[in-house]
Structure 1
Amino acid sequence: MENYKPWGLEIKTFLMLLHLSQLAWIVIPGAGFVLPIIMWATTRDHSVEVDRHGKMIFNWMLSLLIYSISCTILIVVGVGVIGLLMLALINFIFIIIGAIRASEGTFWRYPLSIRFFQ
């Protein structure tokens, strides 16, 4: 569908919000994982671009979960606090860059992301 408007928004605006939706964890812990999945799942069948960005975001979120668990284990051992803080900062920066690039109509893969879905 060429003129498809996910959730009534222009595609670039929706993609930007899809990236920014990961920041929902600031307001409600866990929502940063749920909101992007809902946005992607409800629109992916209608737009190749939404599906492409959604898979990339989902890969980053799963990667982040693995990294967070690893850092938490390292915190217990006593060496991971700085790593967890760096991971949080990197996550925030990557989300903002991804949103800016999506609003410009370009695709930007999150560095450090493990590819679970192609």
Structure 2
Amino acid sequence: MEVVNQNVLRKDNTLVSITHLTQLLHYVTGFGGFLVPLIIWLSSKNNVTGMAEHGRSIINFQLSMLLYIVLSIPAILLLGLGILTLIGVGILGFVLPIVNAVKAANGESPSYFLTIKFIK
């Protein structure tokens, strides 16, 4: 008897929403806001409908926020503009995952603005 593995995509908006919300681990534990969504995305992008698109946008958003943080550190010396950038990144990093988790629960596409598309 031969068992055939069929790649059947399942619709799981809850998992996609949880993937967005795991970005908030930065605020709770100080780490994990990049690794946990990456692991969820890599393990389920071929099995869950929409996970490939949402996962790419999450990873691109996290990499963009990391780049903005790194660039804002030297900008602190320039009239304190880097402090404003760090505050903005902190607010966007908290609000946008929540907004996109609600969008994912409703079956909509993610929209992270100010995101550089590292992964296409």
Q: When you count helix as a share of all residues, which structure comes out higher?
A: 1
Q: Which of residues 90, 97, 104 is equivalent to 2:106?
A: 104
Q: How does 1:18-97 map to 2 (within 5 A)?
A: 18-79=19-80, 80-97=82-99
Cα separation, 1, equivalents of 2:64 and 2:72: 12
TM-score (norm 2): 0.85
Structure 2 counterpart of 1:45, one-letter code: N
Per the TM alignment, residue 30 of structure 1 is displaced from its structure 2 partner at its CA by: 2.2
Aligned length: 112
Indicate if the aligned counterparts of 2:12 and 2:49 stay in contact, CA closer than 8 A. no
Q: What is the aligned-residue identity percentage?
A: 28
Structure 1 counterpart of 2:43, one-letter code: T
Q: Which residue of 2 aligns with 1:7?
A: none
Task: Between 76-85 and 105-114, report the one with greater CA deviation.
Answer: 76-85
Cα separation, 1, equivalents of 2:99 and 2:17: 10
Task: Between 33-42 and 45-54, report the one with greater CA deviation.
Answer: 45-54
Cα separation, 2, equivalents of 1:40 and 1:73: 33
Structure 1 counterpart of 2:31, one-letter code: G
Per the TM alignment, residue 76 of structure 1 is displaced from its structure 2 partner at its CA by: 4.1
Deviations along 1:68-88, whole A, 9 cap, x unmatched?
101112124452112211111
Per the TM alignment, residue 26 of structure 1 is displaced from its structure 2 partner at its CA by: 1.4
Task: Between 55-64 and 73-82, report the one with greater CA deviation.
Answer: 73-82
Q: Which residue of 2 aligns with 1:116?
A: 118
TM-score (norm 1): 0.87
